Amino acid sequence: MLLEVQGLDVRYGRNHAVKSIDLDLEEQEIVTVLGANGAGKSSLLKAIQGTEKSSGRVIFDGVDISNWSAPKRVRSGLVMVPEGRQIFVSLSVHENLQMGAYCRASEVGDEIEAIYERFPNLKERRHMPASVLSGGEQQMLAIGRALLARPKLMMLDEPSLGLSPILVKMLFEMIEELNRDGLTILLVEQNTHKALQTAHRGYVLELGKVALSGPSETLRENPRLEEVYLGQS
């Protein structure tokens, strides 16, 4: 098991955002987390990454990392692409990619060139400020930056948000390609259809709790999914 989350809790004052969630991922799986707005999806990812205070246990690659800082978790191979991309718009495309390797001492020039081969649009704009990129190109940059941290597990928070249908199709094809290359992926996504089409398994959150879980095919056929997702329980 690459990731085990046990009894994870997140609170914001009186707001109990994540309520004793258990979750796991095997190596080379794609697992999606679905749910309506406010269900606790992003809070769950932030707690796993270590950027949100939480209780419970996070076990990564056989090691309990519950008390590790976020940078230490990144160095261990647990990497997140946050909602909204959060690229540095005042820096160039190339400088943004270099930021992805900030915790590494080794030379990453060859790896950056490999990112440019994967994302030719970024190569063409490598010396331009990241502010000139389209939404889809910004998402490519955010994923490329994350890849330079050499993830064992990449967590993606709402990667299709704000993208056109054709870019959404390209994004999910890229997620599948990264998975075929051996990358394990935990995907929070508002596009239920595409997420379940791509992922091997899924969890559906409702008000901070796991309401449904199982193989993607089973979830797609479950009439309860729409009720939970639309808050119609």
In a domain, 134, yes or no: no
- Could you tell me if 220 and 194 are in contact, meaning their C-beta atoms sit under 8 angstroms apart? no
Query: d(Cα 113, Cα 123) in Å, to the nearest integer?
Result: 8
In a domain, 138, yes or no: no
Lookup: tokens for 141: 């940059």
Q: In what order do the strands lie in the sheet with 201-206?
A: 78-81, 153-157, 184-188, 30-35, 201-206, 209-215
In a domain, 195, yes or no: yes
In a domain, 125, yes or no: no
Residue found under tokens 């064992």:
152
In a domain, 121, yes or no: no
DSSP state of 93: H
The 10s digit of each residue's pLDDT in 25-58 is 999 999 999 998 889 999 999 999 999 999 999 9
SS3 82: coil
Query: d(Cα 33, Cα 210) in Å, to the nearest integer?
Result: 9
CA of 22: how far to CAs of 5, 19, 25, 233, in Å?
Answer: 5, 9, 11, 22
The whole-model pTM stands at: 0.92
In a domain, 75, yes or no: yes
Q: What's the chain's average pLDDT?
A: 92
In a domain, 14, yes or no: yes
The 10s digit of each residue's pLDDT in 188-217 is 998 999 999 999 999 999 999 999 999 999
Residue 171's CATH number: 3.40.50.300
In a domain, 43, yes or no: yes
Please give the tally of structural domains in the chain.
Answer: 1
Q: Which residues of the chain have pLDDT under 70?
A: 103-106, 229-233
Containing domain of residue 75, as a range? 3-86+150-229
